Amino acid sequence: MVMTPRPRVEWAPEMLRYDFGTGHPMSPARLALTIDLAGELGLLEHVDVVAAQVAPDELLTTVHEAAYVAAVRRAADEGVRDEARGLGTRDDPIFPGMHEASARAVQGTHDGALAVWRGETDHAVNIAGGLHHAMPGAASGFCVYNDAAVAIRALLDAGAERVAYVDVDAHHGDGVQAVFWDDPRVLTVSVHESGRTLFPGSGHAYETGGQHAEGSVVNLPLPAGTSDAGWLRAIDAVVPPVLHAFGPDVLVTQHGCDTHRMDPLSNLRVTVDAQRLVAQRLHDLAHEVAHGRWVALGGGGYAVVDVVPRAWAHLLAVAAHRPVDPDQVVPQAWRDRVARDFGREGPVSMSDGAVPAFRTWESGFDPADEVDRAIRATRAEAFPLLGLDVHHE
């Protein structure tokens, strides 16, 4: 009997220092609540929890400009704002320790990715990662350093020939796309709310890669109000075929759960049940197309108590091959913690009570359906560049 290596989770309490301050949507409490819930569910007994260190500048500058890293250090150590580089803005206010906290998230994703590449584990998860808006020379959208881009660069440097990145956050994964826009070795796929109604305003279907990397970028912008059936149909109609066509050595996924209907910063209407289903599908795709090599990251998610802990506990459960029954009651000890720390009740079930279902693309295109039109537009732009038929699988 062949023993598979235990999944790896990048976690240390120091990751809670990524903290923009009271009132900011990106509360570190969401990370603490997730880890606490995973612990109460017994999931952490089946993974190796590894404490990430602070990434050195030499690693950060594989993606980020040296002048930008220096500016982050000045902001963190001296309180020097640099709004031209996104530091000290409303989205990204500066805070003591900003550099170290951000660099620790990078090191965690980097280390997990290389552990996967070296065969030390099949799956690695960093819920503190997925900071996909950070640009080479600027902070953006609550993201200081781009851990996903640094990890993908490290995988390429380590010998991976093709890396696929799939982003299901409500917001377009613009930073990762920008870093690899001209690199045909990296496929970036983003399924998000349309930039017409949501930050950062990019991620249109016609964005398909640079001059020498046509087809390496796939964007599926969805209309505001898209719920489980449309979201799942969209992902199913685009993500599996493009991953199979690309054939990556490693799959990196970003699981921002701000697609949820309770999230205050997006207009999508997805449930935890659909998010769990997508985590499972992306896990399965890693086994189908990338020899099981899977790096899963957190990202957005601003319903701090009601959504994030359950969504990412399900993600951790999938990675640990210990899926949690959606009907399972949330452990009382965790709910007591919520009542004590937040003065309110937490969710009682690991489910929203939804039964996610969708029509596959083969069932037919409905020109009156706005989601179907979005899917059709993405397939029309991207599929021919990947050698895929627009109309059929």
44: DSSP letter? G
CA dihedral in degrees (99, 102, 106, 112; nearest 10)? Answer: 130
Q: Does residue 276 contact residue 355 with C-beta atoms inside 8 Å?
A: no
Assigned token pair, 198: 């949501």
Would you list the DSSP string of 136-173? TTB-BTTBSS-HHHHHHHHHHHTT-S-EEEEE-SSS--
361: DSSP letter? G
Q: Does residue 115 contact residue 124 with C-beta atoms inside 8 Å?
A: yes
Phi, psi of 164 (to 5 degrees): -105, 140
Nearest to 137, CA basis, from 240, 232, 50, 60: 60
CA 218, CA 281: separation in Å to the nearest integer? 18
CA 335, CA 341: separation in Å to the nearest integer? 10
Q: Which of 110, 132, 133, 192 is catalytic?
A: 133
CA 176, CA 203: separation in Å to the nearest integer? 11
What are the residues facing 329 on neighbouring strands?
349
Assigned token pair, 303: 């319903």
Q: Does residue 329 contact residue 351 with C-beta atoms inside 8 Å?
A: no
* CA–CA distances in Å: residue 331 to residues 40, 304, 320, 323, 328: 6, 17, 19, 16, 9
What are the residues facing 269 on neighbouring strands?
227
State yes or no: is 133 an active-site residue: yes
**Angle at the Cα of 119 from the Cα atoms of 117 and 121, rounded to 5 degrees:** 100
Active site residues: 133
